[in-house]
Structures are given as structure tokens and as C-alpha cells.
Chains A and B, each alone.
Chain A
Amino acid sequence: MNIIPLFIAIPLGFAFLIPMFSRKVRWLPDMLGNLATLSLVILSFYTIGRTGNYYMGGWRPPIGINLVLDGFSSLMLIMVSGVSFAATLFSVQYMEKYTSKLRYYSLFLLMVAGMNGVALTGDMFNLYVFLEIASIASYALVGFGCDHEELEASFKYLVLGSIASTFILFGIALIYGMTGSLNMAHVGQMIQQQGMGPTLLFAMVMFLMGFGLKAALVPFHAWLPDAHPSAPAPISAMLSGVLIKVLGVYAMMRIFFNVIGVDEKLSWVFIGAGVISMVVGGLLALGQWDYKRLLAYSSISQMGYVILAIGVGGMAMARGGAGANSVAALALLGGLFHLINHATFKSLMFLTSGSVVYGTNTRDLKKMGGLFYKMPITGLCAMVGSLSIAGLPPFNGFWSKLIIILACVKAGFYGIALVAVAVSVITLAYYLKLQKYAFFGEVGEGLKDVKESPSLMCLSMGILAVLCVGLSLLLLPGPRAVLLDPAVEAVLQGTDYITVVLGR
């Protein structure tokens, strides 16, 4: 039996099962939620090294909707299910203080279903539908606490998110008007035949703005530092860890690399946006005194690295010439590796922030201090996470940043490589600040009787912390050939995606 549709069916089914049966039984939502994400983790490992093309309802493209599984989407599926499993494990005890666990898990699983759908779909309008499912669930989850800040952040996020969705829908409509098809592969074929035109350019601008808003690149980043800290901690981990990547970066790469095809101008846009996001996010994070807000700005900065790597890869692909393919492969490897690394360590950091809030009831760094002695496991996990983000050698963040910088140097962008190194130093600076004020120094006032968080929260943080160290192993030739290389190839094949999907 083909497992591809199960990635959408399982979370969707559990999302509606939970509010139906667990009104009376208190522990059932937790059970079902964790069961769903655990089964997704197991299934996602099954997709490694497989490719597939699934026709929904038996209709072949370009008439029917198809689901496409290749290396890139398989990588995304593993990332989404891994982080969501850690988040559900964490929320068993963390979400006790909120009222309605039932609705929480329901919305959570809807969001997971939307993201899995985005990662798998091969149809443009279907992409929009899944994108909206994931976004609507996330709007509601940001405002889950129903307090002043949360509602305000949720409204801001909702307005900007809906504008982004409208732009994307407009782009899709333009593409449909131009090519008369919605299947991504078929659209790609038509675009290759028709060549570049003003309509396509307009659609590309629409897509750039829409997905840029979803990915929080710097000119469009205003919603992220409000929305991500206001959500409950496991949701922040999901939003920062996977949502902006799947909805923003993945969808953007799929459309620009595999459907439309990259050229030099577009790569310059990516590189520019990446560098600006990197620098601005890093500098703004330095001045923050709110634990979660600092992490949110750091997300913008780290997404800058990913976009920069993608831009460099696209540039090498567009320019061509001797050795261009190896440079592009290196850059994209760095970008994708940083993508999954960022998913692990940023969700780890947001979960530790949740643990700190659970213990101390504050997010203000100035009121904390000495938490390392009170909450050793949380402190240790936070330290592992911080050092990984800052890019110190034994951890995974170091390797991915190293690859990105190497790729920049090989492609001839020495200045940009220098900026990337400088931003890495800034990153180290603000994470050292976080460590110093939150976890070391004098024990803060009123924090004398803070206890370590409950066991399941520690367990989920521990899993992610081990992953932070363990993911470095992915660069060894064996694991790399299994997981990362197929993903890089899927992006690198560019518009050959069309022939793979349509089978001609």
C-alpha cells in the first residue's frame, strides 16, 4: 500500500477524532495527540530514499491532483514530524495551565496536516489550500491564551498572513491565466515553452512577496517577533522551527527552482534578502530583554543564512560554467542542512523558554539569574542549543554555517562570506547574553524555590538536545547519501522536475 496520502489523512483524522471522543476523558487528548505525531515520525522514516508520484482519485495530471514525494519533501516530512512529536510530548504537562487541551491538539494536528500537505503536493492550488489550512490553525494557536498581548499579536499575524495568502493566490491566478494549468510540472513545461513575459514576471513578484511574508524575510518580518513569542511555548517551537520553513522557504524553493527556474536576477534578490535578514535580525536580537523575543529575532537572522545559501546555489546554477554544479550543490547542501539544524535547535530553545516560563512565570531576562543551579536539565539543554546556534565546533550549527561560508567563498562572494562570519559572532554574543542573564550569576529575587520542570518536558528537550549533537553525523558520507544528497539533487535538478513528474 502506498503511504503517501497517510501523511495528510492521519493528522486530519486525529484532529477530528480528538474533539469527538475525549470530552469526558481527561488523558485521552494527550494520548491521541502523541500517538498521531509518533506514527507520523515512524512513517516519515519509511519515506527515506523513496520517490513516488501519487494520483489523487486515480486522475492523472494535468487533470487530477498529484502528490509528489522526492528527496526534498521527504526531508521536510521528517523535520515536521520530528519537531511536532517533541512539541506534543512537551505540551502534555505544559498545556495543563491552559483551559482547552482538546481544541489545542485539534488545531495542532490541523497545522501538521497542512504542512505535510504543502510538502507533498504537486498542484499549485492545492498548495494554496494546504498553506491556508496550516496558517489558519497557526493564527488561532497564536491567540490561544486570549490575553491582551496574544490577541494583539494574533491579529497582526492574521492581517499580514492573509495579505500574503492573497498575494500567493493572485500569483497562482496569473499563472493559470498564462498557462491554463495548475499542475506544477505541467505549468513548468508551459513556461519553458512560452519563455519569460511580463505576466510571469508579475506572478513572480507576487510569489516573492507572499512567500517572503510567510518566511519573514526582512522587509516583511514585522509580524514574527510579536507572533512567535506570544504563542504557547510548544507552538512557538512549531512556528519558528518548521512553519516558516515549510510555508515560506520550501514552497518558495519548489516554485522558483522546480517550476519557474532560477536566473541571475532572482538569485540576487535571494542573496540580498538573505544578507539583510541575517544582519538586521542579528542586530535587533542583541537589544532584546525578553527571552522568547530574542529567540524570535534570532530566527529571522538564521533564516537569512538559509536564503543566502539558496541564493548562492541558484546563482551558481544560473551562471553555469566549469564546476558550477559542485558549487551549487555545496551551497544548497549547506542551506538545507542549516534548515533542519535550525529546526532542531530553535525548537529546542523555544521549549527551554517554555520550561523557564513554567518554572519562573516570567520572560524577562533581567528578572532571571542562576537558573542553571535550580533547573540543571533545562540549563544544560539551553546551553547545547545556544552553542549550536552560535556555531561552535562539535555541534551541528557549526558544520552547516561552515558549508555555507565555504560555498560563498567558492562562488566568489568574499564580502558576503565575511558578513556571514560577522553575523555568526553577533549570534554568539546574544546567546552568551542569554546564558549569562538567565542561567548563570546570582539567583534572582523570588526564584529561590524554582523547581526543575516535570519529566516529560525534560524528556522532549533531551531528545532535541541529543539531536543537536547527533545531526552532525549527517555529514558523514553514508548518512549524507541517504538523507541530504537526494534532497539537494531534487532542488538541483531544477526544471527537470517536470520530466520526473510527468514521466516523459
Chain B
Amino acid sequence: MIYLLTFVLFSIGLYGVVTKKNTVKIVISLVIMEYAVNLFLVLLGYRKGGIAPIMEKGQEIQEFAAATVDPLPQALVLTAIVIGLGVLALMVSLCIRLYEKYGTFDISEMKRLKG
């Protein structure tokens, strides 16, 4: 059921990208979309009452593996966040450059390209 909420969040992001005219708002919507997917990935590995996947001294391996949450999605999310950081930096710098050129954040005023 809780997965449904991430789909809702994803749709909100997609809606924002499609309808908003402000470049910064588009960037924010994209980030929302990305984080919806990250949340979904983390939830996939979640287990009720699970412990963090860090082993401590004196723990049996079998016992540890039975109690911990799935660590793989967490690694994936970490990678996805790093990639998202790169994309975000590029997007924000493009927004600033576009503002420099056109003097506005409104994409409906940027239409040198057509066809």
C-alpha cells in the first residue's frame, strides 16, 4: 500500500515537469520524480523491525542476515543520489546561463528553436 504513495509522488513530479513554465520549477519537479524512485527502491528492501545492515562485533552471521534489511537497494540509492547530484548541478547551471541570456525563467519566452 505504501508503494502507492511513491507512485503518487512520482506522478506529482511528472505533472510538474509537464505543466510548469518556470525552469526552476521544472528542475524541482524532476528532483521530486527522482526521489520518488529512490524512496521506492529503499522501501523495496525494508523489512519490519529490521536493523541497519552494519555488522557489529560478536554477532553471528546467520542471526545478522536474518535480522537486517536488504542492503543492496541502499547501495543503489546511494549511487542514484550521486548521479542525481551531477544532473542537478548541470541543470542549475544551465538555468543560470539561460537566465543570463534571456533575462527570464519562463520557458514560453525562450523560443529561438522551432519546428
Taking Cβ atoms with an 8 Å cutoff, the residues of A that contact B are 125, 129, 132, 136, 139-140, 143, 146-149, 151-156, 158-159, 162-163, 166, 169-170, 173, 176-177, 182, 225-226, 230, 284, 288, 293
Q: Does B69 contact A (CB under 8 A)?
A: no
CB distance from B82 to the nearest CB of A (A): 9
Of all chain A residues, the one with the shortest Cβ separation from B102 is A148
Q: Which residues of B contact A225 (CB under 8 A)?
A: 115
A158-B44 contact in complex given A169-B37, A170-B10, C-beta closer than 8 Å: no
Within 8 A of A (CB), among B77-115: 79-80, 83, 86-87, 90-91, 94-95, 97-98, 101-102, 107, 110, 112-113, 115
* 9 A-B pairs closest in CB distance: A177-B44, A132-B83, A226-B113, A173-B41, A166-B33, A169-B37, A170-B37, A155-B94, A149-B112
Contact status B97-A151, CB under 8 Å? yes
CB proximity to A under 8 Å, residues B14-71: 14, 17, 23, 26, 30, 33-34, 37, 40-41, 44
B-side contacts of A136, CB under 8 Å:
83, 86-87, 90
Please name 11 further chain A to chain B contacts, defined as beta carbons within 8 Å, in addition to the given A143-B94, A173-B37, sorted by A numbering.
A132-B83, A132-B87, A146-B97, A149-B112, A152-B113, A155-B23, A155-B95, A159-B26, A163-B30, A173-B73, A226-B113
A-B contact pairs, 29 of them (CB 8 A): A125-B79, A132-B83, A136-B87, A143-B97, A146-B97, A147-B101, A148-B102, A148-B112, A151-B94, A151-B97, A152-B110, A153-B113, A155-B91, A155-B94, A155-B98, A159-B30, A162-B30, A163-B17, A170-B37, A173-B44, A173-B73, A176-B41, A176-B72, A176-B73, A176-B76, A177-B44, A225-B115, A230-B113, A288-B115
Contact A176–B44 (Cβ < 8 Å): yes
Which B residues touch A143, using CB under 8 A?
94, 97
Question: Which of A139, A169, A288 is most buried by chain B, counting CB atoms within 10 A of its CB?
Answer: A169
Q: Once the chains bind, are B94 and A154 in contact (CB under 8 Å)?
A: yes
- Determine how close the nearest CB of chain B comes to the CB of A173; give it in whole angstroms: 5
Interface residues, chain B, with chain A CB atoms under 8 Å away: 10, 14, 17, 23, 26, 30, 33-34, 37, 40-41, 44, 72-73, 76, 79-80, 83, 86-87, 90-91, 94-95, 97-98, 101-102, 107, 110, 112-113, 115
- Give the residues in chain B near A153, CB-CB below 8 Å: 113
Min CB distance A246 to B, Å, is: 18
A476 to B37, CA, bound (A): 48
Which B residues touch A149, using CB under 8 A?
112-113
A288 surroundings in chain B (CB, below 8 A): 115
- Residues of chain A contacted by B102 (CB below 8 angstroms): 148
Q: B91 contacts which chain A residues (CB < 8 A)?
A: 155, 158-159, 162
In the bound complex, residues from chain B placing their C-beta under 8 Å from that of A166 are: 30, 33-34, 37
Closest to A166 in B: B33
Q: Which residues of B contact A163 (CB under 8 A)?
A: 14, 17, 30, 33
| Interchain CB contact under 8 A, A158 and B90 | yes
Give the complex CA separation of A442 and B98 in angstroms. 39
Contacts of A169 in B (CB 8 A): 34, 37, 80
Q: Are A293 and B115 in contact (CB under 8 A)?
A: yes
How far in angstroms is the closest Cβ of chain A from B59? 21
User: In the complex, what distance in Å separates the CA atom of A146 from the CA atom of B10?
Assistant: 32
Closest chain B residue to A152, Cβ basis: B110
B62 smallest CB distance to A (angstroms):
18
Give the distance in Å from the alpha carbon of A125 to the alpha carbon of B78 in the complex. 12
Chain A minimum-CB-distance residue to B40: A173
Chain A residue at smallest Cβ distance from B30: A162
Q: Which residues of A contact B90 (CB under 8 A)?
A: 136, 139-140, 158
Residues of chain A with a CB closer than 8 A to B86's CB? 132, 136
